[in-house]
Structure 1
Amino acid sequence: MRLENDIMNEGTECTARERTLLWQRLGIGKAFGKPCSLESEWGSSMVYNNPASPNTVALFLYPEEDHNGAFNICDERKFDRVLCTRLFTQTEHYSLQFHRVPSVEGATRVVDGIPSDVTIKHLVLAGHGDPNSLMWGSDGPGITGSLSVEDDTTDGFLDKVYRHMIKGGDHRSTVMLDACLNGQPVDDKNMLQHVAHRLAGTRVFASTISWGNDQFFLVNGKEFTAKIKSKGKNQMRTLSLDDPELQKWNFYPNEYCSDKSPSPTIDQSLTTCREACERAGILCNAFVFYPDGNARAPHKKCYLSPQCEETDDSRLGSMIFEKSDEHTY
């Protein structure tokens, strides 16, 4: 779950000037007949078209269902100053869309409405969460209330988002999983790992803990970077699978293939490891990658597997990438 905001936020807060500018850009506040007391009437959708960046947007998808008000725009009838900073910094550089959605299907309809020539530079997926899911609403017939790991409706949504993302490079798109525990380590796959794979080439952020806005600290708005601080430690985790081609492979974190053997490639990167497995054809069904190297051989990160029929759990953060049905010979 996501913690309810403290009345006095201590995280990164916007100034009075920034708040006024943001209100003007979004057309909210008392001057526009949209005070905090009427948030329920106007807070479901906000749009700002930045004339300097009409085709590059920051997209915030917030939950329609929120049991404790943690995702309110206003806090105690005052505009939340940490959310203010997050919105304001994006409007400084990009156009902005903010929408509350009731379901994954509802979020998909929002993305379907984005023109094909529009790029999503920063994506925020917000909702109460656990390591394996992020909730927008309730399930029902034909309704998927939550984004979740290994869910077809979730993957369909992420595939549509992916078409609008910048993959790779210094200015790649960024994704914030604005939920509790989406980055908490689990035995199989958490939301951070799942989204980073489905949106390979982007940079994804998620928290390992339950948190509130008072713990959020923005480091960079244009090229989004942030921290979630608890007891003096940063609990924000980030993951980027730098090679967009890996989106086509099956992904199994925290495991390794029992029949793996070191790859002879000198450049031990994800891309060269993938390419080595592809060159091997039917002699390589999967590859194992150790981001920080194998403990017994720290300089070796890439291992090829002819079958990968048996796997073992890894304590060294290794990842299996297995060829999918898209691979033909």
Structure 2
Amino acid sequence: MRLVFAGTPEFARVALDALRAAGHEIVLVLTQPDRPAGRGLKLTPSPVKQAAVAAGIPVLQPRSLRLDGKYPDEAAQAQAALHDAAPEAMVVAAYGLILPQWTLDLPRRGCLNIHASLLPRWRGAAPIQRAIEAGDAQTGVTIMQMDAGLDTGDMLLERAVNIGADQTAAALHDALAQVGGEAIVEALLGLSENRLHARPQPEAGVTYAAKLEKAEAALDLTQSAELLARRVRAFNPVPGASVRLPGLDEPVKVWRAQVASMTADAAPGSVIRADAQGIDIATGAGVLRLLELQKAGGKRQPVDVFVRGWQGN
């Protein structure tokens, strides 16, 4: 098909590459403006822009698509470019901008979204992280026909993915990105052959994946060890879970943790044991064992290395 692609992060870049490999004609790419990144805060193009430029695909980076919004000139430029592109469909993956109605109505086959959950569970901004945090055993990818609502459109195709017991958000992201690329190619083929039909989302089971906030990084040790271990996995790599340890002025990032098979009659936050096997901390229910940590300004360290430096202080 003749397509316009809208996306920004690595998750979307994988889908863009899959569409190109499948032979689709990508005539225009929309992505977020370049952002400061790295220690030098150098303006850096998104993964999608980098892939599009390398492939010689025209790129637009409007700050808004709303003709009546804060950047009407950029929105009008995008509207003109989309009309000229005359796409049969528009594929959207983690773009980061709300699509106004004129955008949804422009392609003949509409706008298709690659969403990283099994809708209607985990509509919203952070479906991968919230699925892990909630202890879901399974998630997946939904190819959805977009409408004006928040991930409320009719579903074209779903692909389930199991969540591993120790899987981090980073690892699950990579797995879902691969499935998403495969699923959008399959969905477009089904549409082109008129054998794939949209169906409404079930009314039951709707949940919302709220955007991750930096304040969530600090682990609340009055909560259960099971929930805290899931949060460590869900917030890896962003925003990264953290905890305060005795003798250290700043919180320590926790990259890996598990529920210890022991009980403790101690106040939440109390360090019960610290050795090469782990740092065991009492919680509101059970014991959390920290296995990989990072001091402010330092490197990630396995717990045996971290404990030697910590105790040395």
TM-score by structure 1 length?
A: 0.28
Q: Return the structure number with greater helix share.
A: 2
Task: Look at both structures and tell me which one has the larger radius of gyration over its CA atoms.
Answer: 2
Bigger relative CO (Cα 8 Å, ≥ 6 apart)? 1
TM-score by structure 2 length?
A: 0.30
